Amino acid sequence: MEYEIHWKRVFVLLGFVLVLSGFGLNFVLTSEPTHLTGYVVLEEGVRVSTEKLDPALVKELKEGNTENKVVIILEDTAGTTSPNEQRQQDAIDDVQEEFIDDLENDIDVEVETISTLEHKEADLIITKEFESTNAVAGEILTGDALVELAHNNDVKKIMLDYPVELVLDGSINELNAPSLHTLGITGKHNSVCIIDTGVDYTHPDLG
């Protein structure tokens, strides 16, 4: 059986495929990455991997807010998870100090207290080094700082630092209390005593 090649149709089809390929390539190069691609684009056009960024921080970045207060959770070592409290504390101090020293080789880092945040000329300001948690708090001021943190092997997670307010109906789910309620454990007829020097015992809610 002989086949007749319709060259005109072949060229038309080939041209159609090339046009579609061009549109696809243009979409990849110009469209803003979403959570599906694992990147977020900063104002200066820099792409940052979202692998270590929590959703709240990604949302702020997509809205154009590049200066954010964050909590940087560091990778644990054998010492930072030690059951010995003093050994754990020493290990956390060492990890935090080494982390900050390494950062200073690549970006401008300042270690200050929250009360002295007046001159924001650095890339990253470390405002707190936690004692019992392998993490530091700070403020990211430039895209360079975010890129460096996102690619840093010592960084486990970068969380947006923002005030959280929980009321009883919200905290119940956070404590997984409904799972106890299904077992008939509701706390009914049980009294709770809170001893705290900061409690105003004359407050009407405390009887």
CA dihedral 170, 172, 174, 178 (to 10 degrees): -130
Confidence of residue 184 (pLDDT cuts 50, 70, 90): confident
Of 167 and 59, more confident: 59
Burial class (CB within 10 angstroms; exposed 0-12, middle 13-18, buried 19+) of 123: buried
DSSP secondary structure of 8-19: HHHHHHHHHHHH
At 169, is the secondary structure helix, strand, or coil? helix
* Listed ranges 68-72, 129-133, 172-176, 177-181; the one with the highest mean pLDDT: 68-72
pLDDT of 25 higher than 50:
no
Task: Give the start-to-end residue ranges of the domains of the chain.
Answer: 39-160
User: Could you tell me the pLDDT band of residue 9, with boundaries at 50, 70 and 90?
Assistant: low
Site of tokens 């405390």: 206
Question: Whole-angstrom Cα distance, residue 100 to residue 98?
Answer: 6
By residue count, the chain amounts to 207
pLDDT of residue 97: 92
Q: How confident is the model at residue 113 (pLDDT cuts 50, 70, 90)?
A: low
Alpha helices, DSSP H, located in 115-175: 143-150, 168-174
Q: Looking at residue 172, what is its pLDDT?
A: 79
Amino acid at 156: K
**How far is C-alpha 150 from the geometric centre of its chain's CA atoms?**
9
pLDDT band at 32 (very low <50, low <70, confident <90, very high): very low
Q: Report d(CA 116, CA 138) in Å as an integer.
A: 12
